[in-house]
Amino acid sequence: DIVMTQSPDSLPVSLGERATINCKSSQNILYSSNNKNYLAWFQQRPGQPPKLLISWASTRESGVPDRFSGSGSGTDFTLTISSLQAEDVAVYYCQQYYSTPYTFGQGTKLEIK
Amino acid sequence: QVQLVQSGAEVKKPGASVKVSCKTSGYTFETFGISWVRQAPGQGLEWMGWISAYNGDTTYAQNFQGRVIMTTDTSTSTAYMELRSLTSDDTAVYYCARDEWNWYGDYWGQGTLVTVSS
């Protein structure tokens, strides 16, 4: 199974500041035939289901604010929130869908400093 | 708008089975699949498997092989997940998610809490 490891586990950030969450896969999740990274990012607010933010490592879903961006390739990926808003407090998960069983990172809890 | 509405919370005894439903609306059911993901209390997300609503093809995580059955009913645009031989380790919130190609869920149900306790 591909292991997804996020860092940090917890991230305190001041309102208006940048937040950066890292995700590392134990194997390459870039499919060479289409040059796509099989990685998604989700936001989960307390008591809510996960919400898809980004697919293919960097494609923002419709309706997701443009302060959210994804980057990286191969085994190392990053979710960046350019200017933290109060409503961004949540746990963030990365997920690989390169090979089954699809696996998630352990989550990063983003909080206001 | 796309909606996935799941059945209500369940309490089961060890060894029993549970069947969770996921009623969908707002899109053509047969053109997408449904993934199932669970989350134990205070824990992360665990992918259980996927079913095509087009032809019923399934992919199950090895951890659940032989214990989980995913089905769909196209007449009611509803997906089902049945988990057998429950233990306390199966206590979790179970989510369904629309998933076109067995990749990632783009719309999620509200979750169904399944508690396994003697």
Pairwise CA distance, residues B17 & A33, whole Å: 42
Residue numbers in chain A where pLDDT is lower than 70: none
Residue of A nearest to B63 (CA): A101
Question: What's the mean pLDDT when you consider all of chain B?
Answer: 97
- Mean pLDDT confidence for B62-74: 96
CB pairs under 8 A between A and B: 52
User: How does DSSP assign A34-62, residue by residue?
Assistant: TTEE-EEEEEE-TTS--EEEEETTTEEPT
Q: For A100, which of B46, B61, B106 is closest by C-beta distance?
A: B61
What single string gives the DSSP state of each residue in A91-110?
EEEEEE-SSSSPEE---EEE
SS3 B12: strand
- Given a cut of 90, is residue B102 above it in pLDDT? no
Q: Is the pLDDT assigned to residue B97 strictly greater than 90?
A: yes
**Rounded-to-integer distance, Cα A34 and Cα A106, Å:** 28
